[in-house]
Structure 1
Amino acid sequence: MNLKTTLTTPGWHRTLLLRRALAATLLIVAGFLFAGSLISTDPRVVVFSRDIPAGTEITDQDLELRRIPADLVPDQVIRIPEEALGRITASSVTAGEWVTAPRFVGTELVSSLTDDIDPAAASTDPFNMVPLKLADPSIIPLLLPGDTISVISQNPDTGLPATIASGGKVVLVGDTAGADPATVLIALPQTDAAAVAAAALNSPLAVVLTGDRTG
């Protein structure tokens, strides 16, 4: 049976030929796509493979490699999954987001949170992170990573509020495994961080939200 007869004859012969033609076309397209992926020069970067809440320790199930056009790759992007394993997310992330160092609790995050501080007014102390257990944990859901806060206590002699440190940055809001839900992680200059840690041993502490979000 020739091609003309097959195409003009109803029945399974024509259906079979059309299916074969479609399959061949799909194979050719797939071949071109595969070949294109092999010769692609776009870099591969690490992205989050699923939604992840704040305070989560990253495992290999949370990551995947994806090719991204070179002009879209952000600074501090992670290109090797092993560099992200075991790190703690500082805020919730969504599937498909690029994995960058400031997304995790660490020095890169502290640097990104404090880079808006006026160098003329900033302390020469390096910033340290300090966990702060709040006397009133109900404020914690209102805080966001990057918020500027002051740490307040009460003067035991006068009963008036006393500022222990100001200009702190919220690093982590939300529970980590085994963490006290009343605790928030903040970044402060080293001297202020030590003062806050010492004050926490003897008196209840609170935070006051300052900075841009209060305006």
Structure 2
Amino acid sequence: MNLKTTLTTPGWHRTLLLRRTIAAILLLAAGILFTGSILSTDPRVVVFSRDIPAGTEITAQDLELQQIPSDLVPDQVIRTPEEAIGRITASSITAGEWVTAPRFVGTELVSSLTEDDPTAPPTAPPTGPFNMVPLKLADPSIIPLLLPGDTISVISHQPDTGLPATIASGGKVVLVGDTAAADPSTVLIALPQADADAVAAASLNTPLAVVLTGDRAG
């Protein structure tokens, strides 16, 4: 039986031939895709494999590698899981996000939050070098309203008059205590060293509060 007869005559011969043809096409397509993935020069970067709350220490199970076009690779992207394992997330993470250094508590995050603003007026608070200081608030109810990157002032009161006293201004929120592992009344802020020292000293015996002063305050 020739090919033309097989194709035009109903029966199991035609069915078998069609199945073999479809299988061959699928196998060829799979081979092309596999070869393309091997020959591709697109870089592999680390992405978060699941939703992660702020203040979480990253493990290998939280990460996976993903190949993306080189022109889409963001700055400060992390390319190996080992670079991220053990670091602490500074904000809530959504599965599928690229892993970049400023997503974690550390110098990269502080630098991204406190970099000089060329449009800032001459009277703006000084920038860097910045230190991070944990701040236990007298009224922690404001913490859920704070976001990483918010600009805040640290406020206390004068013991003799009870009037407000500004301990430091121009601070940047780095991490809020929104996980079970963190103190829910504590917020981590970045301040110039002298201001960070003043806030740390004041927190030993004075109740402290923060006032939102950045763009979101308007």
Shorter chain as denominator, the TM-score bin is over 0.9
Equivalent pair of 2:116/2:127 in contact (CA under 8 Å): no
Instruction: Give the Å deviation of 1:87.
Output: 0.4
Report how many residues are paired.
Answer: 215
1:40 matched residue in structure 2: 40
* Map 1:89-108 → 2, pairs under 5 A: 89-108=89-108
Equivalent pair of 1:55/1:177 in contact (CA under 8 Å): no
2:37 maps to a residue whose letter is: S
SS in 2 for 1:66: strand
2:28 matched residue in structure 1: 28
CA pair 63-5 structure 1, distance change in 2 beyond 3 A: same
Equivalent pair of 1:128/1:189 in contact (CA under 8 Å): yes
Equivalent pair of 1:147/1:213 in contact (CA under 8 Å): yes
The percentage of aligned residue pairs carrying the same residue is: 85
1:62 maps to a residue whose letter is: D
Q: Measure the CA separation in 1 of the matches of 2:54 and 2:13.
A: 59
Equivalent pair of 1:148/1:170 in contact (CA under 8 Å): yes
CA pair 125-65 structure 1, distance change in 2 beyond 3 A: closer
2:109 maps to a residue whose letter is: L
Matched, 1:70 2:70: yes
1:86 matched residue in structure 2: 86
Segments of 5+ residues of structure 1 without an aligned counterpart are none
Select the residue among 147, 151, 155 that pairs with 1:148.
151
Instruction: Give the Å deviation of 1:14.
Output: 2.8
**Cα RMSD, aligned residues only:** 1.8
Of 54-63 and 101-110, deviating more is: 54-63
Matched, 1:50 2:53: no
SS in 1 for 2:172: strand
CA pair 14-119 structure 1, distance change in 2 beyond 3 A: farther
Instruction: Give the Å deviation of 1:107.
Output: 0.2
TM norm structure 1: 0.93
Instruction: Give the Å deviation of 1:211.
Output: 1.1
CA pair 124-53 structure 1, distance change in 2 beyond 3 A: closer
Q: Note the alpha carbon deviations across 1:19-78, whole angstroms, 9 max, x for none.
A: 221111111111111111111111111111122111111111111111121111111111
Q: Measure the CA separation in 2 of the matches of 1:166 and 1:124.
A: 11
Equivalent pair of 1:150/1:165 in contact (CA under 8 Å): yes
Matched, 1:138 2:141: yes
Equivalent pair of 2:55/2:89 in contact (CA under 8 Å): yes
2:163 matched residue in structure 1: 160
Select the residue among 107, 126, 129 that pairs with 2:129.
126
Q: Measure the CA separation in 2 of the matches of 1:110 and 1:214.
A: 21
TM norm structure 2: 0.92
